[in-house]
């Protein structure tokens, strides 16, 4: 993902050869430039900015996580990408087209947040309707529906009315309908919501499989531990603004935060010696755990432990998690969207 | 299958699964019961009364069904958030709305046909009269039902279910009294009032054009040229309503 800021500038004139090169370059699957969405309260006429000056580009074959607390603007951003809501300012290009152009959504799969489907239909009928909307051959729809329902553990419930589905089953059906057209871009709004740990693991595997197939995935989430495990890149939204964006490894490049040394067999008086050197051993089960923040201190600790005859079980580096990074990024920013009346 | 047909089929399926056909069954039972009660009192004009009562009743019930089912048509989609997953598919907003219109018209028309068949069966089997005379009137009512449905879709594209039902019912009622409105405007003595009522007269649908029940109840068929004229007018009128509804729905934010 390449972050951008402000409206897209007109491209400078290019020589003919360069233009020819550009013609064969793959277009970005999704581009947002300077996208802002404001609403006006019809009663008070006060303006409310849900999303402000958001810009990024999504390349093919990556899993990108749009992260942020509740009210950060994730769902509004997704709705603008889908053409459900029009941006007040800025441009969005979905597969090179305006999102309001139905052709832009031909190879798009979308799972809404807390999805709701027609409860008078069965799962098989709903997938049939979705196939008709994509104008896919009914025989192909039938084949793909069967495979998807099987893959998502709903094969035994294909003929059950959706009003009898649990939240988790509805979420799985949401994923099935999003995958029916074998999309090149999959947009998932809180895909882990309502799923048990097994369901979450299955969804993560499906997302990895889709990436292997060549699909690009844009997912919004506030379950950061889940996101960290599957996303190639993330963008952190807060108060409608994109605070930070980049690859997960890039954002967490701060490296090792501290080391955790697990020790056993400390001789009598050894603990007091360690404390005298400034270390603070903590008893965890049969072991002592000592945390050190700096490399020099680690060297000193390990030397002391070896000399004193203690047994070092493990030295584990502890890195910053995405959750810790996320909370750090949010520090000092307003958590609520802005009113600019 | 085109997206419009797919949406229409889903709308019909939803109505059918809400067991609206029970309305037709109840109507049939009421019709048979009423004919049994009224026939001895009709002094030889039993078929006329049954035809009049049956066709007017079926038209009224189908109209009420179109208004009640249609007033929540879009509101329910937005409230239950079913529309988001659908509109993320490669379909135009207008296609969604036209599908909803088609499904609603097909549902109310299906109910009307079912009830009309009951009237025809009663007239043909019960009174040994030629039931096919009624077909012209039934056809005109089907077109009128299309206009009613288009009104419902038009109002539901921008307002609440309650207001949609109210405006649609008011439009239908006013459409049946458009000629009277013009007459009162001319009798009022004010030039401004006459101009105003004339404008309203031309804006309102001329629904009396679709009422041939008096004609067929006397055993007279509806002339084909009247059906042709009414059909042309009806299609133009409902087409204009749908164009306006699509323009409004297209600009609506699906928040």
Once rounded to an integer, what is the mean pLDDT over residues B59-82? Answer: 91
- Of residues B163, B159, B158, the one with CA closest to residue B249: B158
In chain B, residues 203-222 whose CB comes closer than 8 Å to chain A: none
Which chain B residue shows the shortest CA-CA distance from A186?
A: B88
Smallest CA–CA distance, residue B171 to chain A, in Å, is: 27
Report the pLDDT value the prediction gives residue A255, as an integer from 0 to 100.
Answer: 64
Question: Coil, strand or helix: which one is A2?
Answer: strand
How confident is the model over B34-56, as pLDDT tens digits?
776 776 776 667 778 888 888 88
- Of residues A167, A187, A163, the one with CA closest to residue A177: A187
B22 interfaces chain A, CB cutoff of 8 Å: no
pLDDT class of B204 with cuts at 50, 70, 90: very high
CA distance A50 to A60: 27
Average pLDDT, chain A: 84
A311 interfaces chain B, CB cutoff of 8 Å: no
Secondary structure letter of residue A90 according to DSSP: E
A241 interfaces chain B, CB cutoff of 8 Å: no
* Poorest-pLDDT segment among A240-244, A264-268, B4-8, B88-92: A264-268
Domains of chain A (ranges, CATH numbers): 2-7+21-252 (3.40.50.300), 256-322 (3.30.70)
Beta strands in chain A (DSSP E): 2-3, 30-40, 47-58, 63-67, 89-94, 108-111, 185-189, 216-221, 233-238, 241-247, 256-264, 282-284, 287-292, 311-319, 338-339
pLDDT class of B143 with cuts at 50, 70, 90: very high
CB A217 within 8 A of CB A206: no
Q: Is the pLDDT of residue B89 over 60?
A: yes
Residues of chain A with pLDDT under 70: 1-27, 253-255, 332-341
Helix B3-17 with A123-133: angle, nearest 10 deg: 150
Which chain A residue shows the shortest CA-CA distance from B13?
A: A120
| Radius of gyration (C-alpha) of chain A in whole angstroms | 25
In chain A, residues 56-95 whose CB comes closer than 8 Å to chain B: 79, 82-86
* Poorest-pLDDT segment among A158-162, B9-13, B45-49, B245-249: B45-49
Question: Coil, strand or helix: which one is A297?
Answer: helix
CA distance A92 to A84: 12
Q: 3-state SS of chain B?
A: CCHHHHHHHHHHHHHHHCCCHHHHHHHHHHHHHHHHHHHHHCCCCHHHHHHHHHHHHHHHHHHHHHHHHHHCHHHHHHHCCHHHHHHCCCCCHHHHHHHHHHHHHHHHHHHHHHHHHHHHHHHHHHHCCCHHHHHHHHHHHHHHHHHHHHHHHHHHCCCCHHHHHHHHHHHHHHHHCHHHHHHHHHHCCCHHHHHHHHHHHHHCCCHHHHCCHHHHHCCCCCCHHHHHHHHHHHHHHHHHHHHHHHHHHHHCCCC
The two structure tokens encoding residue A308? 């004193």
CB A282 within 8 A of CB A289: yes
Share of chain B above pLDDT 90, in %: 56
Cβ–Cβ gap B84/A84 under 8 Å: yes
The C-alpha angle with vertex A297 and arms to A295 and A298, in degrees rounded to 5, equals 60
CB B185 within 8 A of CB B178: no
A117 interfaces chain B, CB cutoff of 8 Å: yes
pLDDT class of B149 with cuts at 50, 70, 90: very high
Spatial neighbors of A70 by CB under 8 A, at least 6 apart, are A222
Cβ–Cβ gap B85/A106 under 8 Å: no
Cβ–Cβ gap A102/B253 under 8 Å: no
Report the pLDDT value the prediction gives residue A141, as an integer from 0 to 100.
Answer: 96
Cβ–Cβ gap A110/B90 under 8 Å: no
Spatial neighbors of A166 by CB under 8 A, at least 6 apart, are none
CA distance B120 to B118: 5
B14 interfaces chain A, CB cutoff of 8 Å: yes
Cβ–Cβ gap A105/B254 under 8 Å: no
Pick from A75, A100, A118, A180 the residue to mutate for testing the B interface (most B CBs within 10 Å): A118
Cβ–Cβ gap A102/B91 under 8 Å: yes
CB A29 within 8 A of CB A59: yes
Once rounded to an integer, what is the mean pLDDT over residues B118-139? Answer: 85
Spatial neighbors of B46 by CB under 8 A, at least 6 apart, are B35, B38, B39, B127
In chain A, residues 127-146 whose CB comes closer than 8 Å to chain B: 129-130, 132-135, 138
- Delimit the domains of chain B by residue range: 3-251
Question: Coil, strand or helix: which one is A103?
Answer: helix
Secondary structure letter of residue A85 according to DSSP: S
Report the pLDDT value the prediction gives residue A65, as an integer from 0 to 100.
Answer: 93
How confident is the model over A76-131, as pLDDT tens digits?
999 999 999 999 999 999 988 999 999 999 999 999 998 999 999 999 999 999 99
Question: Coil, strand or helix: which one is A225?
Answer: helix
CA distance B246 to B156: 11
CA distance A141 to B33: 49
CA distance A188 to B195: 57
The contacts found for B25-28 with CB under 8 angstroms, 24 or more apart, are B27/B57, B27/B58, B27/B61, B27/B115, B27/B118, B28/B115, B28/B118
Report the pLDDT value the prediction gives residue A68, as an integer from 0 to 100.
Answer: 86
| Radius of gyration (C-alpha) of chain B in whole angstroms | 20
Q: Is the pLDDT of residue B106 over 80?
A: yes
The two structure tokens encoding residue B229? 């004229």
Which residues make beta-bridge pairs with A258?
A318
How confident is the model over B16-28, as pLDDT tens digits?
887 776 777 787 7
Size of interface A-B (CB pairs under 8 A): 79
Report the pLDDT value the prediction gives residue A123, as an integer from 0 to 100.
Answer: 96
CA distance B74 to A214: 37
Spatial neighbors of B12 by CB under 8 A, at least 6 apart, are B103, B106, B107, B110
Is B128 exposed, middle or buried, given 0-12, 13-18 or 19+ CB atoms closer than 10 A?
A: exposed
CA distance A272 to B118: 100
Smallest CA–CA distance, residue B7 to chain A, in Å, is: 8
Polymer length of chain A: 341
* Poorest-pLDDT segment among A243-247, B8-12, B66-70, B237-241: A243-247
**End-to-end Cα separation, chain B, in angstroms:** 29
Report the pLDDT value the prediction gives residue B214, as an integer from 0 to 100.
Answer: 87
Smallest CA–CA distance, residue A229 to chain B, in Å, is: 27
Secondary structure letter of residue A179 according to DSSP: H
């Amino acid at each position: 993902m390449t972050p951008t800021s402000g409206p897209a500038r007109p491209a400078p004139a290019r020589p003919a050869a360069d233009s020819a090169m550009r013609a064969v370059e793959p277009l970005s699957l999704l581009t947002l430039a300077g996208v802002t969405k404001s609403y006006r309260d019809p009663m008070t006429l006060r303006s409310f900015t849900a999303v402000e000056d958001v810009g990024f580009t999504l390349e093919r074959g990556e899993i990108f996580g749009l992260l942020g607390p509740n009210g950060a603007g994730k769902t509004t951003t997704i709705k603008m990408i889908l053409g459900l809501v029009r941006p007040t300012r800025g441009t969005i290009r979905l597969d090179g087209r305006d999102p309001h152009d139905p052709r832009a959504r031909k190879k798009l799969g979308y799972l809404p947040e807390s999805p709701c489907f027609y409860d008078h239909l069965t799962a098989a009928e709903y997938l049939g309707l979705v196939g008709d909307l994509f104008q896919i051959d009914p025989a192909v729809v039938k084949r793909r529906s069967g495979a998807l329902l099987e893959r998502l553990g709903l094969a035994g419930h294909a003929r059950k009315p959706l009003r009898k589905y649990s939240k988790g089953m509805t979420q799985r059906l949401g994923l099935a309908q999003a995958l029916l057209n074998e999309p090149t871009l999959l947009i998932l709004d809180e895909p882990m919501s309502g799923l048990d740990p097994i369901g979450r693991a299955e969804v993560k595997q499906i997302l990895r499989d889709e990436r292997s197939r060549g699909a690009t995935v844009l997912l919004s989430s506030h379950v950061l531990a889940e996101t960290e495990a599957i996303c190639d890149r993330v963008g952190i939204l807060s108060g409608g603004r994109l605070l930070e964006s980049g690859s997960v490894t890039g954002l967490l490049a701060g490296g090792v935060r501290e080391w955790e040394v697990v020790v056993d067999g400390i001789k009598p008086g050894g603990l007091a010696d360690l404390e005298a050197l400034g270390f603070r051993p903590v008893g965890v089960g049969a072991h002592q755990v000592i945390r050190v923040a700096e490399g020099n201190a680690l060297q000193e600790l390990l030397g002391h432990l070896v000399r004193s005859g203690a047994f070092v079980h493990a030295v584990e580096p502890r890195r910053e998690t995405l959750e810790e990074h996320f909370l750090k990024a949010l520090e000092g920013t307003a958590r609520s969207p802005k009113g600019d009346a | 299958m085109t997206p419009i047909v797919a949406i229409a089929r889903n709308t019909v399926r939803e109505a059918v699964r809400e067991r609206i056909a029970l309305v037709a069954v109840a109507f049939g039972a009421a019709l048979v019961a009423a004919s049994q009660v009224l026939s001895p009192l009709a002094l030889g004009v039993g078929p006329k009364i049954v035809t009049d009562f049956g066709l007017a009743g079926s038209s009224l019930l189908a109209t009420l069904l179109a208004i009640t089912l249609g007033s929540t048509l879009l509101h329910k989609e937005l409230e239950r958030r079913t529309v988001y997953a659908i509109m993320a598919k490669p379909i135009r907003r207008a296609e969604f709305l036209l599908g909803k219109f088609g499904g609603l018209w097909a549902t109310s028309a299906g109910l009307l046909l079912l009830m009309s068949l009951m009237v025809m069966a009663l007239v043909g089997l019960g009174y040994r009269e030629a039931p096919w005379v009624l077909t012209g009137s039934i056809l005109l009512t089907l077109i009128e039902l299309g206009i009613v449905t288009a009104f419902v879709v038009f109002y539901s594209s921008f307002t609440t279910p309650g207001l949609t039902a109210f405006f649609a019912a008011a439009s239908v009622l006013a459409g049946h009294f458009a000629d009277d409105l013009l007459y009162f405007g001319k009798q009022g003595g004010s030039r401004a009032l006459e101009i105003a009522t004339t404008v309203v007269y031309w804006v309102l649908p001329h629904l009396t054009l679709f009422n041939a029940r008096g004609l067929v109840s006397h055993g007279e068929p509806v002339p084909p040229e009247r059906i042709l004229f009414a059909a042309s007018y009806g299609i133009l009128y409902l087409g204009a309503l749908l164009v306006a509804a699509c323009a409004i729905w297209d600009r609506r934010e699906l928040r």
